[in-house]
Amino acid sequence: DTGVSQDPRHKITKRGQNVTFRCDPISEHNRLYWYRQTLGQGPEFLTYFQNEAQLEKSRLLSDRFSAERPKGSFSTLEIQRTEQGDSAMYLCASSPDIGYTFGSGTRLTVV
Amino acid sequence: AQSVTQLDSQVPVFEEAPVELRCNYSSSVSVYLFWYVQYPNQGLQLLLKYLSGSTLVKGINGFEAEFNKSQTSFHLRKPSVHISDTAEYFCAGGDYKLSFGAGTTVTVRA
């Protein structure tokens, strides 16, 4: 078990392009979370999966954002038509119940 | 919904001195509280958590925190810091969904 893995670590994209991030949780964890962290702030909740079911989405997750966890294992977060305001660190976490293990994050820069 | 407030945005401290990072929480339901540390360009690492039981919680790297229900606080302490403790520290609360404070930057100086 190597913990929670996120790929890529860094992504630079031009405004208007689509990007997709991947998260591989700890294998026995059935809960998976996505958070967004902007500079100087704490992480903010985006969405949550229990197995393959997406149980909650934040209002921060506009219609340009979509997340999937097709087989209850890895998850993807896609941002369509990126905007400069999407620049942030996107963190994935997993847990068996209370308390998370975070991945190292994907830093997105939209230019 | 639970929310947390970190009272100090920056805490400078000399090496081998003690440090305390303050966190207050608000909640009308069950209280689960956490402290995480984040090093530059890294994810968050769990230092310790309070779920129930003893109000004094010990974590990794010599950190401890005390849950105080009457003061709605969950302050983090370390009796003697090292240069390597320089990092961002986040208090968080909640159950399946966590609310994070804005963070406290700890800078340890020799």
* Residue to substitute from B96, B99, B100, B105, interface A, most A β-carbons within 10 A: B96
Q: How far apart are CA B58 and CA B62, in angstroms?
A: 8
HSE-up of residue A14 (Cα within 13 Å, Cβ side): 0
Which H or E run includes A49?
Answer: strand A44-50
pLDDT (average), residues B16-27: 94
A40: confidence class by pLDDT, cuts 50, 70, 90: confident
- Contact (CB, 8 A) for A109 and A39: no
- Range with lowest mean pLDDT among A87-91, B8-12, B39-43: B39-43
Closest CA relative to residue A46, chosen from A28, A65, A30: A65
Instruction: Kindly determine whether residue B96 and residue A48, on different chains, have CB atoms separated by under 8 Å.
Output: yes
Reported as a single tens digit per residue, the pLDDT across B56-110 is: 999 999 999 999 999 999 999 999 999 999 999 999 998 888 999 999 999 999 9
Interface check for A98 against chain B (CB to CB < 8 A): the answer is: yes
Q: How far apart are CA B93 and CA B81, in angstroms?
A: 25
CA distance B2 to chain A (A): 13
Q: Is the pLDDT assigned to residue B28 strictly greater than 90?
A: no
Predicted local distance difference test score (pLDDT) of residue A71: 86
User: Which residue in chain A has the smallest CA separation from B43?
Assistant: A104
Q: How far is CA B69 from the centre of its chain?
A: 16
Closest CA relative to residue A91, chosen from B107, B67, B38: B38
- Range with lowest mean pLDDT among A22-31, B22-31, B47-56, B70-79: B22-31
Predicted local distance difference test score (pLDDT) of residue B2: 67
Instruction: Kindly determine whether residue B96 and residue A103, on different chains, have CB atoms separated by under 8 Å.
Output: no
Predicted local distance difference test score (pLDDT) of residue B6: 96
